[in-house]
Amino acid sequence: MIAQGRRVITAEMVAAIEALAPRYPNRRALVLPALHIVNRELLHVPLDAVVDIAALLGLAPAEVQDTLTFYEFFHQKKPHGKVRAFVCRSIACALRGGDELLEHLCHAKGIRPYETTPDGELTIEPAECLGACDFAPCILANDDLLKNLTPEAAEIELAKPRARAT
Amino acid sequence: MTPFKPVLLEAVGVPEGYTLASYRSRGGYAPLEKILREKQPLDVVEMVKSSGLRGRGGAGFSTGLKWTFLPKDHPGPIYLCVNADESEPGTFNNRLLMEDDPHQVIEGIILSSFATRATTAYIYVRYEYPESWKRLQAAIDECYAAGLLGKNILGSGFSLDIYLHRGAAAYICGEETGLIESLEGKRAWPRIKPPFPAIEGVFRKPTVVNNIETMACVAQIARRGVEWFKSIGVPANPNNPRDPGSYGPKLYCLSGHVEKPGCYEAPLGITLRELVDHYGGGVWKGRKAKAAIPGGISMGLFTEAEFDTPLDFAGPGRVGCLGLGTAAVVVLDETVRMVDFLYNSCRFFAHESCGQCTPCREGTSWSLRMLERIRAGKGRLKDLDLLLELGNTMGMMPGSTICGLADGAAWPIKNAINKFRDEFEDTIKRTNPEGWMVTDPVPALAIVGAH
């Protein structure tokens, strides 16, 4: 089913995607779950993976790519960092220093928003409301919500390794 | 103010309150067992309808009435989509419910599925809530093990599967047909209605889309009764036959410049000032409030003088806001420049417009560019009129877009400029003394240096 030689999604990924198939009445609904499964392992979804997913789900690659590009979430050209930090910039965080936090972290790490540090450890991205306005300003770093941050505390927190289970 | 004992937030602060055992010890799932044993689906629809429950996701449409729009005697499948794509800036009550009391939500989902004859329920959880995802999945697993989900639940003959579906950080997925498209694996472009989801929703089947907090309310109505629910809140205005009233407890999210940000449960109809002073400990640092968002950023703005407006479904509309929305209150203190507030709002909507309808895609984008221009000291008074023109012409209400995102983008623009016009004009005149009066088209944007 999948063209040999360009396969970038692994048997484990295929199994994880297929395990979800009974939940939906058609295979197109698996696109978003599949993108998440691939992204979790590869930290991005390269075009070859899009072709693989399309073949697996019986879709045209363009259909998968169409969905993928709608969500700014999936990087395509290169992997994001081992820690992906979403810095909230929406109103509740902005009122308590969210924009300043983002700027400080980018300056401290020498990268611009959406970029990854050269060692591949950390990607910093602005995010719209993280739904944690009671802890503003906040950052979502992999699975961890970092609360009530000062720029200094954020730097310390983001230097730590973080698991990513979901 | 009489203290209100939390019901929806009963489990907050309870050690391991998110487990099945803890939920059962609070009386959970007993109402479900009784209903599955003794009642018919239509009884549950009637119960929810007569409670006056209005959807908590933002639009405030009657939940029971929504269910009755499903076709009668449909061969199925019918789907329930639970909207946990809580993305409205300032809103986080769904997060609390999912993390601290997932079984309350699930009991509501099972009851709602029974009522609507849905056999599959999808919970669309936004990417930004990994903890909610884990807690919900653990709770669902507990339910399957306890026979509360799956085939022939508790011997009733009713079967239900609940699946989590993960979003990918897009605000528009909270719009019910955007959610449906996203669930189907497509870009989340809202659909033209009709057909409404009740007739043709996900996978082209009849579908109900309800919010997480609505589900929790259904569970509590089943446990405590219709009379209890109707005893809380603001009754329907007898002089307005179209007012369905604002019944029940509501989770108010309070953030921004207050001493104690948090999610507080209070009867519908509490005033914004009561919320800030009584629950929020007042404006932070001893400062004065200048304005507040009454229900998520898309609802617009209260000025400080409007803080005594009740936060029920009808209140915010009386002072020119879009509505109660998600009841997420964000307080702005006296140091906030309204230009900065509006810039933040416009940036959000320009980023989150899905791009399907031109008035919204271009309107949100150009409103952001105008705010950038004003902030860069290149604003003209004419820009305020242009912004208002955009605000008055983009959206479902003026009839130029498919969904309400643009109305949500327009309201902060209209409210901020109409209610704080003097400040905007002062800012523009002060920061652009040479050019504030110019009305010619803006020359090449690179020359302006603001973009």
pLDDT at res. A94: 98
Q: How many beta-carbon contacts under 8 Å exist across A and B?
A: 143
Q: Are B354 and B387 in contact (CB under 8 A)?
A: no
Mark whether B369 and B431 lie in a shared domain: yes
Mark whether B26 and B154 lie in a shared domain: yes
Radius of gyration of chain A (CA): 18
Contact: B163, A23; criterion CB under 8 Å? yes
Give the burial class of B264: count Cβ atoms within 10 A of its Cβ; 0-12 exposed, 13-18 middle, 19 or more buried. Answer: buried
Q: Are B254 and B331 in contact (CB under 8 A)?
A: yes
CA B262 to chain centre: 16
Over residues A89-114, the mean pLDDT reads 97
Contact: B262, A134; criterion CB under 8 Å? yes
Residue of A nearest to B328 (CA): A133
- Cβ-Cβ contacts under 8 Å for B71 (sequence gap 6 or more): B198, B199, B206
Contact: B255, A133; criterion CB under 8 Å? yes
Q: Which of B275, B305, B333 is the last residue of a domain?
A: B333
Q: What percent of chain B has pLDDT over 70?
A: 98
Mark whether B205 and B266 lie in a shared domain: no
Contact: A127, B169; criterion CB under 8 Å? yes
Does residue B239 belong to any structural domain of this protein? no
Element (H, E) at A88: strand A83-88
**Whole-number Å distance between alpha carbons of A123 and A119:** 10
For the segment B234-285, what is each residue's pLDDT rounded down to a tens digit?
999 999 988 999 999 999 999 999 999 999 999 999 999 999 999 999 999 9
- Measured in residues, chain B has a length of 451
Q: Are B254 and B261 in contact (CB under 8 A)?
A: yes
Calculate the average pLDDT of chain B: 96
Residue of A nearest to B254 (CA): A134
Domains of chain A: 11-70 (1.10.10), 83-158 (3.40.30.10)
Domain holding B367, by residue range, is: 338-448
pLDDT at res. B299: 97
**Whole-number Å distance between alpha carbons of B50 and B70:** 18
pLDDT band of residue B421 (cuts 50, 70, 90) is: very high
Does residue B310 belong to any structural domain of this protein? yes
* B449 has pLDDT over 60: no
Which residues 207-246 in chain B show a CB within 8 A of chain A?
Answer: none
Q: Which of B92, B187, B351 sits opposite A131 (nearest CB)?
A: B92
Over residues B78-96, the mean pLDDT reads 98
Q: Chain A residues with CB inside 8 Å of B332's CB?
A: 95
pLDDT at res. A2: 46
For B44-119, where are the E strands, in sequence order? 79-84
Mark whether B184 and B148 lie in a shared domain: yes
Does residue B6 belong to any structural domain of this protein? no
Does residue B391 belong to any structural domain of this protein? yes
pLDDT at res. B2: 72
Q: Chain B residues with CB inside 8 Å of A166's CB?
A: 130, 133-134
Element (H, E) at B246: strand B246-247
Mark whether B305 and B419 lie in a shared domain: no
pLDDT at res. B59: 92
Q: What percent of chain B has pLDDT over 90?
A: 95
- Cβ-Cβ contacts under 8 Å for A86 (sequence gap 6 or more): A125, A126, A127, A130, A139, A140, A141, B128, B169
Over residues A14-43, the mean pLDDT reads 97
CA distances in angstroms from B424 to A95, A148, B73, B337, listed in the order given: 19, 31, 57, 9
Q: Chain A residues with CB inside 8 Å of B256's CB?
A: 91-92, 95-96, 133, 136
pLDDT band of residue A1 (cuts 50, 70, 90) is: very low
For the segment B54-86, what is each residue's pLDDT rounded down to a tens digit?
999 999 999 999 999 999 999 999 999 999 999
Amino acid at A129: C
Mark whether B280 and B428 lie in a shared domain: no
Q: Are B309 and B349 in contact (CB under 8 A)?
A: no
Does residue B307 belong to the interface with chain A, where contact is any CB pair within 8 Å?
no
Q: Which of B333, B363, B398 is the last residue of a domain?
A: B333
Q: Chain B residues with CB inside 8 Å of A132's CB?
A: 92, 95
pLDDT band of residue B192 (cuts 50, 70, 90) is: very high
| Residue B431 belongs to domain with CATH number | 1.20.1440.230
| Residue B34 belongs to domain with CATH number | 3.40.50.11540
Over residues B296-303, the mean pLDDT reads 97
For the segment B330-348, what is each residue's pLDDT rounded down to a tens digit?
999 999 999 999 999 999 9
| Residue B325 belongs to domain with CATH number | 3.10.20.600
Mark whether B115 and B34 lie in a shared domain: yes
Contact: B297, A130; criterion CB under 8 Å? no
Q: Which two tokens stand for residue B158?
A: 């009713």
Mark whether B198 and B152 lie in a shared domain: yes
CA distances in angstroms from B328 to B20, B41, B42, B131, B276, listed in the order given: 29, 33, 33, 21, 12
Which of B99, B126, B171, B186 best tests the A interface by mutation, with the highest count of A CBs <10 A?
B186
Number of domains, chain B: 3
Does residue B349 belong to any structural domain of this protein? yes
For the segment A124-163, what is each residue's pLDDT rounded down to a tens digit?
999 999 999 999 999 999 999 999 999 999 999 999 989 8
- Cβ-Cβ contacts under 8 Å for A148 (sequence gap 6 or more): A135, A136, A137, A138
For the segment B6-52, what is each residue's pLDDT rounded down to a tens digit?
999 999 999 999 999 999 999 999 999 999 999 999 999 999 999 99
H helix count then E strand count, chain A: 7, 4
For the segment B146-168, what is each residue's pLDDT rounded down to a tens digit?
999 999 999 999 999 999 999 99
Over residues B396-425, the mean pLDDT reads 98
- Cβ-Cβ contacts under 8 Å for B161 (sequence gap 6 or more): A23, B119, B120, B121, B149, B150
Does residue B439 belong to any structural domain of this protein? yes
**Whole-number Å distance between alpha carbons of A44 and B78:** 35
Over residues B1-6, the mean pLDDT reads 83
A77 backbone dihedrals φ, ψ, rounded to 5°: -80, -40
The 3-state DSSP class for residue B164 equals strand
Mark whether B158 and B218 lie in a shared domain: yes
A97 backbone dihedrals φ, ψ, rounded to 5°: 100, 20
Paired with B255 in beta bridges are B330
Q: Between vectors from CA B58 to CA B18 and to CA B328, what angle results, nearest 5°?
A: 70
Mark whether B351 and B328 lie in a shared domain: no
Mark whether B50 and B188 lie in a shared domain: yes
Does residue B4 belong to any structural domain of this protein? no
Does residue B353 belong to the interface with chain A, where contact is any CB pair within 8 Å?
no
Which of B80, B92, B162, B212 best tests the A interface by mutation, with the highest count of A CBs <10 A?
B92
Q: Which of B276, B308, B333 is the last residue of a domain?
A: B333
- Cβ-Cβ contacts under 8 Å for B267 (sequence gap 6 or more): B4, B232, B233, B248, B249, B250
Mark whether B262 and B356 lie in a shared domain: no
Cis bond leading into B206, ω under 30°?
no
